[in-house]
Amino acid sequence: MKNKQSRRSFLRKAGIGAAAITASPQIMASSSGQILSLDREYETRSYAANDKINLALIGSGIQGIYDTRAALGVQGVELVAACDLYAGRLDRAKELWGEHIFVTRDYREILNKKEIDAVIIATPDHWHKKITIEAMQAGKAVYCEKPMVQNFNEGHEIIKVQKETGMLCQVGSQGMSSLGNEKARLLYEQGAIGELVMLDMYNDRYSAEGAWQYPIPPDADPNTVDFDTFLGNAPKVPYEDKRFFRWRNYKDYGTGVAGDLFVHAFSSLNYIISSDGPNRAISTGGLRYWKDGRDVPDVTLTFYDYPKTKTHSAFNASFRVNFIAGSGGGGGFRLIGTEGAMEVGSNSVTLKRSKLGMIPGGYSMVAYPEDTQEKIRHGYLSKQHENRTSELQLGETIWKAPSDYKGSHYDHFYNFFQAIRKKSTIIQDPVFGLRAAGAALLANESYYTGSPVKWDPINMNLL
């Protein structure tokens, strides 16, 4: 009964009246696609200087620059300061945003400036908790890059301080605010794929840059890099430029592919299906090719169990990343249900619905005489099986964002700044951020312990 209601709900909300439900399969749309036209409006007003949000960047590396570019695309925002531990990045910040901005190697100088309203924290993962907490305590709204934390227990500290201070904290999985996610959520809630059975996520890369072998500037040395501060609470080691500029390759500072890539997928998945996350994970993989001193795997496969809840059935999720994919590059994020599947991207959603074969064909009938085969066919047809071709709209539909869509990164910052102006609420707060990061970090816990791990998605604790 539930499945029938789900299908009928989807057909009704998709605009298919009773007259359109016939004995012939209905094609949903041509493969050329439809426009993702959701009710999303943006303010277009201009802001006076004293009405602008003064923004500072802490961690002016690759992601920090992309974050800041997206943030400054939102009207009424101005970058006034930047912090980094490498002198060359401070020079680059002035090149990008003007000689007038304040630059420093000490993030505390930024937190002490009363005129700064909000900060982007795009440091290595092992600094996220400390700076996020101190920034909120200093009265700053925080945009913290994913993963919100490096370790499970750190998230509860951030949640506690956010509640105590009342400061806004947005976790930076930028795809969260995308048109694709929003459309996928609507389709899922309308029953477009039936009961969810499996999530399939993969990310294939075939380049040194994609495997985090980022270029090291020729002037890198202990004078231009504050390596001791970079280490923070990590184990003390002698200066090594690879550890600073390629920190994602080391578990002392980063979170491997789980914290860099899995967490994006968990953010989107949990949002689309309104879930608190998985309760079990098992991971395998290894260091197959990029043996450059890193201590995190370059091939990872992790399998998750999601329990049944009010918003989804029990299902399994498969996450895999390959940094030496000789087949080339590419990625995917696909929700597979009992009645269809959705491929979800930031700017598009592809929905496929197929007819389930219930009547046996030639393969299983070959061992029976012709008259017996006919009796079997007649028996199947005479049974009161639900006529799926009259219930389903079959085929493929592709929804695409408009050509002038500013993108999910812009939308995530727009949401952040609108929340600061008290015109909306944060879409990815610390509780949501810990549920996404916690699920992702289960992969590391299982990989390094060599055994399955259990997780309480409600209380967000390892079991």
Give the CATH number of the domain where residue 380 resides.
3.30.360.10
Same domain, yes or no: 170 and 268: no
- 42 pLDDT tier (thresholds 50, 70, 90): confident
Q: Give me the numbers of helices (H) and strands (E) for the chain, helices first please.
A: 16, 18
Question: Residue 34: how many CB atoms within 10 A of its CB?
Answer: 14
The number of folded domains in the chain is: 2
Q: Which of 173-182, 378-387, 436-445 has the lowest mean pLDDT?
A: 378-387
Separation between Cα atoms, residue 325 and residue 298, nearest integer Å: 10
AA letter at 236: K
Q: Which of 16-25, 122-131, 297-306, 315-324 has the lowest mean pLDDT?
A: 16-25
- Predicted pLDDT at 21: 30
The DSSP element (H or E) to which 268 belongs, if any, is helix 263-272
Choose between 138 and 28: higher pLDDT: 138
Q: Which of 37-46, 64-73, 421-430 has the lowest mean pLDDT?
A: 37-46
Q: Where a domain ends, among 144, 160, 176?
A: 176
Same domain, yes or no: 17 and 100: no
- Predicted pLDDT at 210: 97
Mean of pLDDT over the chain = 91
Separation between Cα atoms, residue 337 and residue 352, nearest integer Å: 10
Find the domain containing 146 and state its range: 49-176
Q: Where a domain ends, among 136, 159, 176?
A: 176
Percent of the chain residues past pLDDT 90, beyond the cut: 81
Separation between Cα atoms, residue 331 and residue 420, nearest integer Å: 34
The residue assigned the tokens 């707060």 is 429
Q: Where a domain ends, among 141, 176, 211?
A: 176
Measuring CA to CA, how many Å separate 134 from each of 35, 131, 233, 390? 43, 5, 16, 59
Same domain, yes or no: 382 and 263: yes
Separation between Cα atoms, residue 37 and residue 400, nearest integer Å: 9
Separation between Cα atoms, residue 428 and residue 127, nearest integer Å: 19
Q: Which whole number is the average pLDDT over 230-255?
A: 98
Strand runs (DSSP E) across 327-386, as ranges?
Answer: 330-337, 340-344, 348-353
Same domain, yes or no: 248 and 356: yes
pTM above 0.85, yes or no: yes
Q: 3-class SS at 403?
A: coil
φ and ψ at 30, to 5 degrees?
Answer: -70, 160
Same domain, yes or no: 276 and 399: yes
CB 272, CB 413: distance < 8 Å: no
AA letter at 48: A
Q: Is the pLDDT of residue 219 over 60?
A: yes
Choose between 379 and 21: higher pLDDT: 379
Asked whether residue 418 is domain-assigned, the answer is no
CB 335, CB 342: distance < 8 Å: yes
Q: Which whole number is the average pLDDT over 227-233?
A: 98
CB 372, CB 385: distance < 8 Å: no
Same domain, yes or no: 222 and 289: yes
